[in-house]
Amino acid sequence: MDYRLIALDLDGTLLTRQKRILPESLTALREAGLQVMVVTGRHHVAIHPFYQALEIDTPAICCNGTYLYDYPARRVSAAHPLDKTQTLTVLNLLSQYDVHGLLYVDDAMLYQHPTDHVLRSLAWSETLPPAQRPTLVQVDSLAAAAQEAQAIWKFATSDADIGKLQTFAAAVERELGLACEWSWHDQVDIAQRGNSKGRQLAHWVAAQGLSMDQVVAFGDNFNDLSMLESAGLGVAMGQSNDAIKARADVVIGDNEAPSIAHFIRQRLLA
């Protein structure tokens, strides 16, 4: 197959637990000579160091396909955000179920209470140069902040009680008709139904005159399935859930080892 594009999830895939891209991965991606695209659940303000390390100019697919972000032009395109009525209803359910929610808007991620998830993000931010730090802001009221936002991309909800989180996500889908995708073992992302990494990727690929058969996609979690299954070659990381590995074309090693580099050299450069 004449592959033309490599689509990369970040957390759990391209990144190690320390939020680093292995140097072997960077070298192999450059050697491959293909276009590289970041396809992530992250907000665009939280991928600066990785986008720059990859030295790419393709747009990033952010918030699980909610929008494209053009880094060179510093603008959003192809967006399908939540409306304010939906956002306020989700906030009511978060309060009802006592689940933490991080709100992704415009150019910032907003929170009310500094949970472990937020504190880890803030600690990671402090390790970065100021120009690469994500905009993570504490607010008195997420509801008030949502009313002032121009665009509301998604909620990242988390809880140590996985059963409670599952019940909450089921209520959101049942009562609001929104999409809930697991992006980590204790995190469910809430966005507009119809948004997905695979759908946004397919739209962009078609606009370039290419087909999804020419895409190699790497991912590790349930929010990656839409692109793993629609790509010409869907590659799951070794630490992925068995249900994800069963639906990928290929399973490689985990994200702590240079698994992506080995695969590129053995499968794409051989």
* Residues in CB range of 101: below 8 A, 6 or more apart: 90, 91, 94, 111, 142, 155, 156, 157
> How many CB atoms sit inside 10 A of residue 2's CB?
8
Catalytic residue among 2, 9, 161, 224: 9
Angle 227-174-94 from CA coordinates, rounded to 5°: 90
Residue 36 phi, psi (nearest 5): -125, 135
* Residues in CB range of 48: below 8 A, 6 or more apart: 128, 131, 132, 133, 134
Burial zone of 232 (CB within 10 Å; 0-12 exposed, 13-18 middle, 19+ buried): middle
Structural element, H or E, at residue 227: helix 225-230
Task: Report the C-alpha gap between 108 and 112 in whole angstroms.
Answer: 13
Task: Report the C-alpha gap between 255 and 10 in whole angstroms.
Answer: 10
Catalytic residue check, 224: no
Task: Report the C-alpha gap between 7 and 218 in whole angstroms.
Answer: 6
Task: Report the C-alpha gap between 6 and 36 in whole angstroms.
Answer: 5
What letter does residue 217 receive in the DSSP assignment? E
Strands across the sheet with 108-111, in order?
A: 136-138, 108-111, 100-105, 152-158, 187-191, 179-184
Q: What positions carry a catalytic annotation?
A: 9
